[in-house]
Each structure stands twice: as structure tokens, then as C-alpha cells.
Structure 1
Amino acid sequence: MYIEEAYYFWRMASDLMLNQDFDILHLSEERNEIWLEKNVKSKAYVVRITQQTFDWSNQLKRDQDTLIENLKRFKRQLVGREVEVHNVYISEFPPVDDWSDRKQPLHLNDRKKTTIYHHYITEQRTEHINDIYKQLGLTEPSFVVPSELEMEQTIYELKRSMKRRHKRNQQKMQQIFSFGKPRLTYLLIFINLAVFALLEYQGGSTNTLTLIQYGAKYNPAIMDGEWWRILSSMFLHIGFFHIALNMLALYYLGSPVERMYGSVRFAFIYFISGIIGGITSFALTPSVAAGASGAIYGLFGALLFFGVVHKKLFFQTMGPNLLWVIALNIAFSFSIPQVDIGAHLGGLVGGFLASSIVHFPKKQSLPMQTGAAIFVLVVGVGMSWYGITNEDNHYDPRLQAQVAQEYAKKGQYDKVIQLVDQTFRHIEGSADLYFFRAIGYYNQGEVEKGIDDLHEAISIKPSFGLAHYNLSIFYQQKQNSEKALEHARKAVQNNPEDERFQELLQSLEKSG
């Protein structure tokens, strides 16, 4: 009787969903087919129930082949390294020809170990269903077969209960993704763009001195007490490509994170990530750094925490793609020398820990939240201490020479001398730094000190043509023609194509 098969179909499906915590993967009332799944530890259990009769075994085979294809599609939504599938046919009659080979378990070899068991139920249905429950490790149900009239009413009630539960589950899922609105995300994008425009107007976002003046992470300044740079550097970007890439990432990552966590939690995650990323950069990287990358990697961390709390939903939605993007970004960070790996990894860890502290709305785990708060403090204080106690690592001679050059271009020669003096208290002499301090001394009227520094530069780098050239000029100032001519010749010898050097040498030779 068709009504009896329909009763067992809906009775089994509803019991698995309402009493055994299975979720609906797919439901088709037109085809009398339902897929349900449940995850236990690292194993996913899938039950596909269908109410149909097959006259011939080849029809059954085609359906089983279709099942395998559909399973491949559903596997993306399954969590776990192993999948166990129970394919249940509730039918009035078995195929008329031999179909014994269709009863055998099927093992699939792909990324997830998959075993498919086929069950064809035509009679003694309660006993067969009990056997399936045993294989699933579930408590055996007690299905009482009512009258035909009662069956129709029961089927109606079962359908309604399942649809109600499924709708409630869908609403819960939607609530997770719609707690807040991404207002702060848009505000942060606006602020970053406005600050970028200001930098471009004031001297260029790629100008090192402009970046430092407006609050970039500059370790020597932080060592002098300017810790506010850890925060201010989050709003500066170096070049159009940097701002474009980061704002695009902030839009696509910030929107879902703020929707899930709400604006207040989002702000905490964003800024804690940026601060931990900035401190890590300070501890590990001496170069000038700027950008929202640490905070943006923190949003990756927030989404990873979502995967820990809502594991199944994570892998059913963004999980696989997100993990691939994170892995790709980390590989990119390690492979490109200019990328601040400290800020990126520090931000990622900081974002995960910050998310653990605030947790999701209407969720609380005091031990975990307390532990995460302690861990954030340990990481922040620990990396700060490491950076402070290894202060010599913060003075990169190439960077300091670049900053000194920018000061010299602006005529701020006192700052050139001050910067070089400070740097030489932490590192050994650098030819470029001696050179720029010599320029500073010369322009402040201390020619003898300038000559001494240029000799230091040449002792480190004998082929330093520009140092020889300036020494020639300095000696001219001191009216030492012999030394001036000597260093003019050395300048030309090291840089014969430089017209300035040639002109100076010719002038000295004529006057000599």
C-alpha cells in the first residue's frame, strides 16, 4: 500500500530529524526523497531515504549511480574525514530480476573515506529500520503502525513538524549572519581613504619622511616613547595599490564579521588585531610600516573563530574557500620581502584571540574568554618586551640613511645630525650615514667635522664616488687645493660618467 510506504518514509525521516539531531541536506517531496546528515566527531553520517519502486535491477543501478553523483555535490557541506552513507529504499516490491549485487556496500576512494550501505525495505519494515538504527549507533525506534486513516493524519503532522524545525534551523543560521550591520566597516574605509588623500596632498604616501611625520610605525620613535604609532599606523597606507588592496579586503571581510559579531565586538576585534599586529611588527621588523593589514588579518582570525564555534555551518558556507585564501595570503606574506609578516601573523593571532574574548552574541564561555584575555596580554607584553630589550635591531642603516636624506632635502640638517648620532649609539658605522651627517655638519658651518665623517665613509666604502666629490668641495672650502684635487680625481676614477665629477676635476686642474 502506497500510504503505508509514505508513512514509514516520513516516520523514519522525522524521527532522525526531531529525535536523533539529524539535519536536512536536501528534500524533494515531488521525488519522495530526503537527505539527512549528522556529524559525530570526525565522521559524517548521511541517510538518504527515498520512496519508490524499481521493476528492474538496471533501474536500481541508475538510481545508485545518481546517488553517487549527488553525494559528491553534498560532500562539500559535510564535516569530517570519513563519511558513512545509508541509502534507504522504502518500496512495495523488489525488482523482479536478480539484484543481489546492488545490495553490497560500496567504498569510494577520494579525499574523504566514504562507505555506502544500501537498504531495500519492502516487508518487515520495522525490523529493517531497527537494523539501520543499530548500524548508525542510534536507539531503536518504536514505530506503531496505525490505521490507514490515522496514517494520513500522522504523515501530515510529521511533515509539518519537520518543516517547522527546518525553518527554525534556517532562521537560527540567518540570525548568525545578520546580528549587526556593517556601518563601522564603511566608516573605517572612509577614514582610511581620507587619510590616504591627506598623505598624497602633504608629500606623497610613498615618501618615508611624510609617513613618519603622520604616524607610521617607526621603531626608533617608538623606542623614544611614541607608542601611539602602533595605533596611528593602522590608518596610513603606502601607495595606491596598498590602499586599494586593503580597502577591498576590509570591505569583503569586515562586512560579514561585523554582521556576525555586531559593531561593538567588531571594533574590539579590529583594533586589538591591529595593535597586536603592530607590536609584533615592532618586535620583529625594523622597517617603516603602515597599513590596516594587521587588523584585516585579524578579521581572518575572527572568521576562523566562527569556524571553531559553528564548525558545520562554517564548512557548509565559507570554510573551504576561506582556509584556501588564508593559506594563500600567508604564503604570499612569506614570499615577498617587502611584506610585513610580523604584522600579518600577529594580526591573525590577535583577531582569533580577540574574538575568543568577546565571543558571539548570546554566547558565553567564561573560562575560554578569560584564558583568551590572558593570552592577549601575554602576547602583547611579551612582544613589546622582546622589542624593547633588543633595541639595536630597530636601527636599520639603510632606512636611517633614507630618513636622513629626506631631512637633508628639506634643509633640516640639525635633525640629520641628531638622527645619525642616535643611530651610531646602537649600530656600527655606515658609509651612507657618515656621508649624510657630513652634509649636515657642512651646512651648519662645521666643515672639519664634515671632512672627518667623509673620511670615515671612504674608509668603509673606498669606491664611494659622491663622498670623494664632496670631500673635494670641502677641501676647497678649507683652501687645500692638493687634497681637493686628489679627491676630485678619485671621484672621477670611481664614477667616470658623472658630469659633475668631470666638471669639478677640470675646474681644479685649470685653477691649479
Structure 2
Amino acid sequence: MYIEESYYFWRLAADLVVNHDFEIIQMIEDKHEVWLEQRIQGKTNVVRLSHKTFDWSNQLKQDQAVLDENIKRVLKVVGGRQVHIHNVYIAKFKPVDDWNEWKDTRSLPGRKKGTVQTFYIDEQSRETEINQLYRSLQLNEKNFPAPSEFEMEQMVEYLKQSIRNNHTKKQQQREQIFFYGKPFLTYILIAINLFLFGWLEYQGGSTNTYTLIQYGAKYNPAIVDGEWWRIVSSMFLHIGFFHIMLNMLALYVLGTAVERMFGSKRFIVIYFVGGIIGGLASFAFTPNVAAGASGAIYGLFGALLFFGTVYKTLFFRTIGTNVIFILILNIVFSVLMPQVDNGAHLGGLVGGFLASSLVHFPNKKEVGKQVASFLVITALVIGLGWYGYNHESNHYDARLQAGVATNYNKKEEYQKAIDITTKALQHTSSDQESLYFVRGNGYVNVKKYNQAKEDYLKAIELNPDFAEAHQNLSVLYYNFEQNEEEAIKHAKRVLELNPDNKEMKQFIQSVEENG
């Protein structure tokens, strides 16, 4: 290899790496080949420097075929909407036959957006080709000095070492980014969630709605009544084994990564801001009882996306593609599954991103953006809370409220059951028959029989085929009003709806015998 070509090869590589912040994709010293990358606003410039001599254009053609295969490999690790390959040959002489067709800019193999452009830097066209390369890279034109052969020889090792030092420094910086902290808070959060899941199972079951509400699940009517702490407590409760295992696996994978990058203090802020905004979004838009760390976990997704805005090249060369793919997959799954709390997920994602912008990375400050993030977080918390509080009709699902009230009746907390159903009836217009029925049961147990009869009759008016309401009304007429005729009428209606009801058959027989 000629020392002059070797010098310009390493001089170009060193200038792009050290002075223009190009990243090394691959450096193969024994083959005198270096691949470099730089991302600018969605556009990626890839430079392939090759120190080779071609006597004939056919040799150049063969190398272009190898180049295309290498480009396909490189495209798997570089990001950007547009990728432009700058293929740079450094040689003493041009091929002796016609080779100019290979200098034409062509489309990127396998991609719609992108180009491949070849530059041939030989002894005669060195300055022209280098300047053309730099213009193509949108850099200022460069005029490299031409030292003596002895100086070139000395400089080559220096240039190689400067590239290695720069690469080592960037690797250390990357390690500092990925391994700033230790993920002990992630493990503590996992332990707390698992402990509370076991406690729920012991107390009545994690899938039991009454147990969930009793121990702090997101229950909108209670939040409207002032129990705002449920926004936080619900982050630590889970509904069923699959739910806890899926969320804890996600927390382990995402939590350890985010806590290592941001440090424990910043991590806990991101986790709770994501969880709280997710919980408030769920409160504002979803009436269902909800629990789980999903909002906080989506907040960790938001933190990784924020990482991608700060370290774009590093993001796409490491975790970026996987993060975006998993996030899109989760969002699609959430949209297709109606029982998934999309409000909590999207709220957590936005909250985590904003919280990451607020705390930022260690040793990094962007005061303007951090203040803006704080203001947006504050506005979201207040806005979602205000919207949820002032739109009570969003919080009452008749069947859910009837189920909750039924649990209170079973616990002999009859007045609570009556209060819940009464309030729900003020805010719902569908499925009201179940609310009247449950409230009627509550009235019977507090010996308000007239109110109970009115509720049972209202339930039957809304749903004439409500067998349980007919049955309870029949018993009420017989035991508390001594109205055998109405008791028999409703009992027979029960048998019309359910001929196998032995209890009603015996009831009718007993009434008729006594009558």
C-alpha cells in the first residue's frame, strides 16, 4: 500500500470522526476499510472509506456488488427516514479503462428513499473529490496539507490512535449513559407489588371487585367523594395472576433499563408521574374499577422514547427499534381489547415522557424545556382531575354499581348499598333495573318495605322478565303486606320465566294450602 494513499485514508477518517462527530459502524484495519455514520434531522449519512487500487473497471464492478451486500447489512443497524451512502475509494491511480458509469448517483438497494454515490480520490483528483464529498455531506470544504512522505508515515499512526481514542471515549460515554445507576428501586417496587397481590388473594381474591375497592383500586365514585389517594394506591394492586406476572416482567425489563440510565431518584419521579397521570386519565375517561402498574410502566416507555430524542443515533443503534416495535404492538393490542384501560396507558406514556424531560439525564440541563415540562405536567394533573371531577356521569356504570352495592348488602352494610345505588340512579339512564333491585334488597333489610316494593316494581317495569325481582316482590307481598293474591301472581310469573324454580313451587303450594 502506498503511504500517501494510506495517509489520506486515515486523515479523512480522523477528520470525520474527531471533528465532525461521525460514529464508527465498523473499522477493518487489515482490509483498509472504515464505515462511518452521522444522523441529521431524520437523514443519515453513511461514509464507506476504502483504500483499494483498481486496475480495471471490472474490478470496480465486483467491489460494487460486495458494497451492495454490505449496505444491506449496514441498513439493519442505522436509522433515519433517508439513508445516503457515500462510497469513497482512495487510490493512487484510476482504472485504465472506462469506469465513469460507477460514479453516477443511484438508488439505495432495497429502499425507496436513499442514494449511493461513489467518490474516487486518486492522486490527480484528490482536492476536487474531497471537496465534492464534503459538500455532499453538507460540511465545509476541506483542504488537507500535503506533508512529506516521512511526516505522512508518522502521522498515520497518530491518526489511527486519535480515531481509537475517540471511539473509546464515546464507548465510555455510552456506558455512562446506560449504567449510571443501579436498579434497586425497581426490585423494591416489584417486591411491594407481589406482596400486595398475595395480600389481596388472602383477603378475598384479586379478581373480586369488592376486595379491590376495599384495598384501594381506582373506583371513580369514591375518588369524586375525596379519596384521591386511590390514584396512587391503585398502581400497586393487580387483577389476577396473568396481570401481575405480565406487569412485573415489564417492570423488570423496562425499570432496570430506565433506572440505570436516569438513576434512582429520577427513575422514581418518572415512575410515579407516569402512574399518576395515567391514573388521572383513567379516572377522567374510564368508569371501570381499575388497578395495576400499567400507567407507570407506560411511563417507562415514555422515558425510553425521551432517550431517543436526546441520543438519536445511540437509540436507533441499540434499543430503539425494539422499543418502538413493542410499544406499537402494545398500543394495537390495547385498542383491539376493549377491557384494556387505554386512558391509563396513553396517559402514562405522555406522563413518563414529560417527567423524563423534567428531570433530564444526569449531568444534562435544558432549563427552558424542563420548566416547560413541569408546567405541562401540572396542567395535565389539574386538567384531568378537574375534568373527571366535573363529569360525574362518566363514573357510573349501572351494573358495576349494582355489583358493588350487592357486596355491601352481603357484608350487612345496607345503608352503604342504598346510598351507592341511589347516587348511581341519579347519573345513569341504562340498566337501571339492576340498581332498583339491589336497592330494594337493601330497603328490605332496613325494614323499609314500602320503598323496597316501589323499587322492585320499578325494576319489573323496566324489565318485565326480571325473575329475581318478581320473586323478592312475591315474598314481600306475602310476608309484610299479607297480600296473597299479588304474592301468587308474581310467584307464578317467576315459574313462567324459570319453570325449574323449586323454591317458588314450594312457596305457591304453601300459600295455597294455608289460604
1:406 counterpart residue number: 407
1:373 counterpart residue number: 374
Q: Secondary structure at the match of 1:194?
A: helix
2:507 counterpart residue number: 504
- In structure 2, list runs of 5 or more residues that go unmatched: none
Q: Secondary structure at the match of 1:383?
A: helix
Q: Which moved more, 1:40-49 or 1:355-364?
A: 40-49
CA contact (8 A) 2:68 2:109 kept: no
Alpha-carbon separation, structure 2, partners of 1:406 and 1:34: 71
2:212 counterpart residue number: 211
What letter matches 1:16 in structure 2?
L
What letter matches 1:346 in structure 2?
G
What letter matches 2:59 in structure 1?
Q
Query: Which of residues 439, 442, 446 is equivalent to 1:440?
Result: 442
Q: Which moved more, 1:4-13 or 1:59-68?
A: 59-68
Alpha-carbon separation, structure 2, partners of 1:227 and 1:292: 17
TM-fit CA distance, 1:461: 0.9
TM-fit CA distance, 1:337: 1.4
What letter matches 1:308 in structure 2?
T
2:128 matched to 1:131?
no
TM-fit CA distance, 1:97: 4.5
2:82 counterpart residue number: 82
1:59 counterpart residue number: 59
Superposed, 1:308-457 pairs within 5 Å as 308-428=309-429, 430-457=432-459
CA contact (8 A) 2:36 2:47 kept: yes
TM-fit CA distance, 1:234: 0.5
2:460 counterpart residue number: 458
2:496 matched to 1:493?
yes
Q: Percent identity at matched positions?
A: 55
Alpha-carbon separation, structure 2, partners of 1:31 and 1:505: 99
CA contact (8 A) 1:83 1:112 kept: no
Alpha-carbon separation, structure 2, partners of 1:36 and 1:248: 37
TM-fit CA distance, 1:436: 1.3
Alpha-carbon separation, structure 2, partners of 1:382 and 1:278: 13
TM-fit CA distance, 1:98: 4.0
Q: Secondary structure at the match of 1:37?
A: strand
TM-score (norm 1): 0.95
TM-fit CA distance, 1:437: 1.6
Q: Secondary structure at the match of 1:247?
A: helix
Q: Secondary structure at the match of 1:270?
A: helix
TM-fit CA distance, 1:460: 1.1
Q: Which moved more, 1:65-74 or 1:279-288?
A: 65-74
Over 3 Å counting, the alpha-carbon distance change for 1:135 and 1:343 in structure 2 is: closer
TM-fit CA distance, 1:506: 3.9
Alpha-carbon separation, structure 2, partners of 1:225 and 1:190: 29
TM-fit CA distance, 1:138: 2.4
Number of matched pairs: 512
Q: Secondary structure at the match of 1:30?
A: helix
Alpha-carbon separation, structure 2, partners of 1:135 and 1:441: 83
2:513 matched to 1:484?
no
Alpha-carbon separation, structure 1, partners of 2:136 and 2:477: 96
TM-fit CA distance, 1:509: 4.1
Q: Secondary structure at the match of 2:31?
A: coil
CA contact (8 A) 2:72 2:109 kept: no
2:206 matched to 1:185?
no
Superposed, 1:192-341 pairs within 5 Å as 192-341=193-342
CA-atom RMSD in angstroms: 1.8
TM-fit CA distance, 1:510: 4.3
Q: Which moved more, 1:496-505 or 1:354-363?
A: 496-505
TM-fit CA distance, 1:121: 2.8
CA contact (8 A) 1:270 1:298 kept: yes
Alpha-carbon separation, structure 2, partners of 1:112 and 1:354: 37
Q: Secondary structure at the match of 2:25?
A: strand
Over 3 Å counting, the alpha-carbon distance change for 1:287 and 1:131 in structure 2 is: closer
TM-fit CA distance, 1:303: 0.9
CA contact (8 A) 2:274 2:347 kept: yes
Q: Give deviations 1:411-436, integer Å, cap 9, x for gaps.
A: 33232222223323434582111111
Q: Which moved more, 1:367-376 or 1:424-433?
A: 424-433
Over 3 Å counting, the alpha-carbon distance change for 1:98 and 1:499 in structure 2 is: farther
Alpha-carbon separation, structure 2, partners of 1:50 and 1:500: 92
TM-fit CA distance, 1:30: 1.3
TM-fit CA distance, 1:448: 2.9
1:10 counterpart residue number: 10
Alpha-carbon separation, structure 1, partners of 2:503 and 2:197: 38
- In structure 1, list runs of 5 or more residues that go unmatched: none
Q: Which moved more, 1:212-221 or 1:93-102?
A: 93-102
Q: Which moved more, 1:329-338 or 1:196-205?
A: 329-338
Alpha-carbon separation, structure 2, partners of 1:440 and 1:132: 84
Alpha-carbon separation, structure 2, partners of 1:339 and 1:20: 47
Alpha-carbon separation, structure 2, partners of 1:167 and 1:49: 20
CA contact (8 A) 2:417 2:439 kept: yes
CA contact (8 A) 1:81 1:112 kept: no
Q: Which moved more, 1:79-88 or 1:44-53?
A: 79-88
TM-fit CA distance, 1:381: 0.6
Alpha-carbon separation, structure 1, partners of 2:98 and 2:471: 99
Q: Which moved more, 1:431-440 or 1:443-452?
A: 443-452
2:470 matched to 1:468?
yes
CA contact (8 A) 2:443 2:451 kept: yes
Alpha-carbon separation, structure 2, partners of 1:179 and 1:370: 24
